[in-house]
């Protein structure tokens, strides 16, 4: 075990925050970690919701993939920890009945 003792959730816990920004379900997208190169579904990321926002870390190397912070009327999104995020365009058709 590592020295990390924080409890984390999986990336699905970010669905609410991310759905405010993206029309598509980012938790179903695949992202590549810019640190170790692992490509995984965002839902598999380790999500820390301890501060004023959300931090998602790579499930393999714990490098930060994404930070999202709400400051008054602005949302700051830092995704430099990911080389890319790959979304399924077919979702655009299916997401027309989002009533969550
Ligand atoms: Zn990684």
Distance 98 CA to ligand 1 centre (A): 31
Which tens digit of pLDDT belongs to each residue from 10-27?
Answer: 999 999 888 888 888 889
Rounded to the nearest whole angstrom, what is the distance from the C-alpha of residue 3 to the centroid of ligand 1?
17
- The tens digit of pLDDT for each residue in 36-66 reads 999 999 999 999 987 788 999 999 999 999 9
Give me ligand 1 centre to Cα 60, in Å: 5
What's the pTM value of the predicted model, to 2 decimals? 0.78
Residues 43 and 57 sit within 8 Å (Cβ to Cβ): no
**44 touches 11 (CB < 8 A):** yes
């Amino acid at each position: 075990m590592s020295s990390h003792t924080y409890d984390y959730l999986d990336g699905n816990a970010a669905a609410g925050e991310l759905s405010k920004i993206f029309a598509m379900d980012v938790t179903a997208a695949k992202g590549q970690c810019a640190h170790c190169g692992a490509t995984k579904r965002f839902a598999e990321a380790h999500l820390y919701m301890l501060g004023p926002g959300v931090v998602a870390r790579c499930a393999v190397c714990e490098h930060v993939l994404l930070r999202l912070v709400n400051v008054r009327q602005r949302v700051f999104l830092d995704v430099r920890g990911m080389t890319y995020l790959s979304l399924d365009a077919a979702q655009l058709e299916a997401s027309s009945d989002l009533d969550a």
